[in-house]
Amino acid sequence: MTRTREWLYAWLLLLPAAVLLALFTHYPAVANLWHSAYSTPRGSRPPRFIGLENYRALVDDPIFWQALTNNLWYALGTIPASIALALLMAVWVNERLPGRGFLRLAYFTPTILPMIAVANIWLFFYTPGYGLLEQLSGYLGFSGHNWLGSKSTALPALMLVTIWKEAGFFMIFYLAALQSMSPHLAEAAAIEGASRRYFFRRITLPLLMPTTLFVLVNAVINAFRLVDHIVVMTRGGPDNATKLLLYYVFEIGFRYWDSSYAAALTMVLLTLLAVVAVLQFAFLERRTHYQ
C-alpha cells in the first residue's frame, strides 16, 4: 500500500507539468501533422484531404531548398563560434580579475536586450553610408560596402549578430559549472605538476560535458528558430540569401495564408530538429561524465 501511495503521489506531482507539456507541445505537433495532410481552406471552400501533396510540393520548391541550405550554413557558422566564445568568456571571468562583476555584466547584457532592439542596433551598424561599420571603414581607408544588401555578406552579417547575442547567455551556464567544480581538483593537479592547459583539456573540459550538451541542444534550437532579426534587418533578402526555414514558414503562413503548406514546412523543421537531437545524445551522451 505504501508503494502504491508513493507511486500515486509521484504521478500527482508530475501531472501539472505533463498536462502543460501535452497541451502546448504534443497536441500542437500532432495537430500540425494532421493539418499538413489537408488543403488550406479558402473562403467557403472547406479543407480537403490531400495526403502527401504538400510534401511533394516541398521537393519541387527551390525556395525551400535555399532556405534549408541557408539554415544549415547559419547553424554551422553560429553554433561552434557562440559556444567556443561562451566557454572562453566563462573561463576568463571565473578568474579573480579587477572589475570582474562589471565584465560579467557586459558579457551578459546582449542577452537581456529584446530581439527587435538588437536587430535595430546592428541595423544601424550595417547601414550603408552612415553606419558605424561604414564610418570605421572610411576612417581606415577602405571603400564602403552594403553588408545586408550583398548576397555574399548578408548571411554572415546575421551570424555575427547571433553570436554576439547568444554567447553571453551560454557563458552563464559555463560559469555556473566552473564555479561548482571542487577547487581540490586544481590543487591536486598543481601538486602533480600538471600545466593549466593540460588541466583544462583533461579535467575541466570533460567535467563541462553535461553543460556543453545542454548548451549545444539550445544552440541548435536557436539556430533554427530565428525570425525577428530577419524581419527587421533583411526580410529574407537579398534574393533569398538570408531566408531561413522558420522565416519561410512565417512567410508562407502569414503573408500568403497557405496554412497547410506552412504546416508541412513545420513538420520538416521539427523532424530535422528531432534527428539532430537524437544524434547529439547518441554521440555525446557516452562522452558525458555526470558528477
Task: Specify the number of domains making up the chain.
Answer: 1
Q: What is the pLDDT of residue 270?
A: 92
Which residues neighbour 268 within 8 Å (Cβ) at sequence distance 6 or greater? Answer: 55, 58, 245
**Residue 32 in domain:** no
The whole-number mean pLDDT for each consecutive block of 10 residues of the chain, a chain of 291 residues, reads: 81 91 91 92 85 93 96 96 95 84 87 88 86 81 83 94 94 92 79 82 87 92 91 91 95 91 94 88 69 56
Q: What is the pLDDT of residue 33?
A: 92
First to last CA, the chain: 35
| Single pTM value for the model | 0.89
The runs of H, that is alpha helices, within 94-244 are 100-112, 115-126, 132-139, 154-180, 183-191, 196-199, 205-207, 209-223, 228-233
- For residue 144, the domain's CATH number is 1.10.3720.10
Question: What is the domain range of residue 169?
Answer: 64-287
Question: How far is Cα 108 from Cα 163, in angstroms, rounded to an integer?
Answer: 12
Question: How far is Cα 204 from Cα 206, in angstroms, rounded to an integer?
Answer: 6
**Residue 206 in domain:** yes
**Residue 225 in domain:** yes
Q: What is the pLDDT of residue 290?
A: 55
Helix or strand or coil: residue 96? coil
**Residue 259 in domain:** yes
Q: What is the pLDDT of residue 75?
A: 96
Contact 54, 263 (CB under 8 A): yes
**Residue 46 in domain:** no
**Residue 7 in domain:** no
